[in-house]
A and B are shown apart, each in its own frame.
Chain A
Amino acid sequence: MAEPVTDILRRALRLVEERRADAYAGMAGSLDGLSLAVSVSVSDCLVLRGAEGALREEPVEGRAAIRISTDRDSVRALLAGRMTLNESLRSGAIELAGTAEALGHGLRAFEFFVCALLRIDEAEQLRRELER
């Protein structure tokens, strides 16, 4: 059985924290005081909050400031280059919700996250695991 997307995301976050302190600090700073919910399926969810220079996982309850909803195939299409981020958003393959200000912070955190993973060799293995 394939590993849940949010478990792979947790491992990716740990990699960024361990290997790219600059990017991790950028992510935590961008999300400072904000909660971010990633929902891939009913049982495949993750909520993060930026606080005191770190990202902490919180229970899945209430309404997060930034809400991302997608599915495994859409994430795979995005990472394989079959769809761009803009196309994914326009087609609804990835749904975003939140205030414009919160989404701006979320986008900045996302940029730090991806930039860090591009510089970490082991991230390629995580991408392959998503393909399973």
Chain B
Amino acid sequence: MSTSAATRTALLEDADYWRGPPADVGGGWPHKEWQHFVIFGGEWTILFNLNLDGTGAARTITILDREGWQGHVAHCRNPRFRPGRLDATFDQAGMRWRDGRYEIWQHGTGVRLEGVLEPISTPSLTHNIHLGPGAHLSWCLIPRLLASGWFEVDGQRVPFEGRLAYHDHNWGRFGWGGDFSWDWGCAVPDDLASPWTVIFARMNDRARHRTTATSVFLMKDGRHVRYFRNAEVRFETEGQMAPRPSGRVPAAAALLVPDEDHDVPRWTRFEASKGEDTLSGQVEARRRGQVLIPADNDLCRIVRLNEVHTRVRVEGRIADERVHFEGPGVLEVVRG
């Protein structure tokens, strides 16, 4: 292991461990936490999410986009993890940290999966992202990994090797359905040799009358080279995606939402600048699925997490170096 890899491993072990519910639970919003992985396969994209929902129970969300989204939400009554460690088992799914790499698996219903993900970027931490009154979220970001493994759907196994992947970990106190919404996305280049990765986010109140925070992260060779935030970043959108998602999970929750909606714009664009540095992105939404989550504060409300396969083009100039890449991305649009 090279020195840089050893350093990266140490940083990651210090940053990405499961927090778990705080000892002083107090009142207010419940503790929520999830570990999220995205693997970009070219013809397909997989999202895998181990999720503590604040009630002591947990869920595993595994969804695949391959000309349309499909997947499954598995409930787990007794998630096994230790605060301070990265390993976790949620019934037939889980994650393990071994030799500086993540191992993930999902052997239950729906899309089955095994993968080994090697971080090739340094982690970064952002704390206390505001999600409405008394609610906040922390964010550990490992934006670039190399993934190998397989997934299996309808009995057909698809192996993959050396694919770019993204990982993050969120935890905090908030309730689904609270006074927030977000548009979050990441993108990687088609060309594995291209060093760039970009992550962007816009946090709003639930009605989207007010933007509470914006951010764009640019990574080169796994290192953060520029972070734009708030007044340095401007977002705009254009058009609308087809009003019907290609897949919804859990399917039964779709009984409670309209067949069609206009949650996701066809185009999302961002412009970021700080001093002489500029960066712009054009995000074309191509296919979307929805993960439907019951609101914590309203029995009959469902929150829609739109997961969108995107095509992204990024241009800019940072420290006199031209930035340019095109590639696949994922956009997550939370509404409801």
Q: How large is the interface on A (under 10, 10 to 19, 20 to 34, 35 or more residues)?
A: 20 to 34
Q: Which segment, of A36-44, A73-81, A95-103, faces chain B?
A: A73-81
Given A23-B299, A81-B247, A121-B77, A114:B259 Cβ within 8 A: no
Contacts of B248 in A (CB 8 A): 81
Name the CB-closest residue of A to B256. Answer: A114
* Bound-state Cα–Cα, A22 to B297, Å: 13
Given A81-B247, A124-B75, A114:B252 Cβ within 8 A: yes
Given A112-B299, A115-B300, A78:B255 Cβ within 8 A: yes
Contact in complex: B300, A112 (CB < 8 Å): yes
1/0 per position for A75-118, CB-CB distance to B under 8 A?
00011110011110000000000000000000000111011111
* Chain B contact surface mostly: mixed
* Bound-state Cα–Cα, A111 to B302, Å: 11
Name the CB-closest residue of B to A26. Answer: B299
| B57 is an interface residue with CB less than 8 A from chain A | yes
| A119 is an interface residue with CB less than 8 A from chain B | yes
Contacts of B299 in A (CB 8 A): 20, 22-23, 26, 112, 115-116
Contact in complex: B252, A127 (CB < 8 Å): yes
| B10 is an interface residue with CB less than 8 A from chain A | no
Contact in complex: B253, A118 (CB < 8 Å): yes
1/0 per position for B234-276, CB-CB distance to A under 8 A?
0000000000000111111111100100000000000000000
Name the CB-closest residue of B to A124. Answer: B75
Contacts of B57 in A (CB 8 A): 121
**Which residue from A84, A85, A118 sits with its C-beta under 8 Å from B294?**
A118
Contacts of B251 in A (CB 8 A): 79-81
* Bound-state Cα–Cα, A64 to B107, Å: 45
B186 to chain A, nearest CB (A): 27
Contacts of A22 in B (CB 8 A): 299
Contacts of B300 in A (CB 8 A): 26, 111-112, 115
A20 to chain B, nearest CB (A): 8
Name the CB-closest residue of B to A78. Answer: B255
1/0 per position for B157-189, CB-CB distance to A under 8 A?
000000000000000000000000000000000
Name the CB-closest residue of A to B247. Answer: A81
Contact in complex: B259, A117 (CB < 8 Å): no
Contacts of B259 in A (CB 8 A): 84, 86-87
* Bound-state Cα–Cα, A36 to B252, Å: 21
Name the CB-closest residue of A to B254. Answer: A81
Contacts of A127 in B (CB 8 A): 252
Task: Give 12 CB contacts A-B under 8 Å.
Answer: A78-B255, A84-B259, A85-B255, A110-B255, A111-B256, A114-B252, A114-B253, A114-B256, A115-B299, A116-B299, A118-B252, A118-B256
Sample of 5 more A-B contacts, CB < 8 Å, known A114-B252, A115-B302, A124-B75 = A20-B299, A22-B299, A80-B251, A118-B253, A121-B75
Q: Which residues of A contact B (CB under 8 A)?
A: 20, 22-23, 26, 78-81, 84-87, 110-112, 114-119, 121, 124, 127
- 6 nearest A-B pairs in the assembled complex, by CB-CB distance: A81-B251, A121-B75, A84-B259, A115-B300, A118-B294, A79-B252
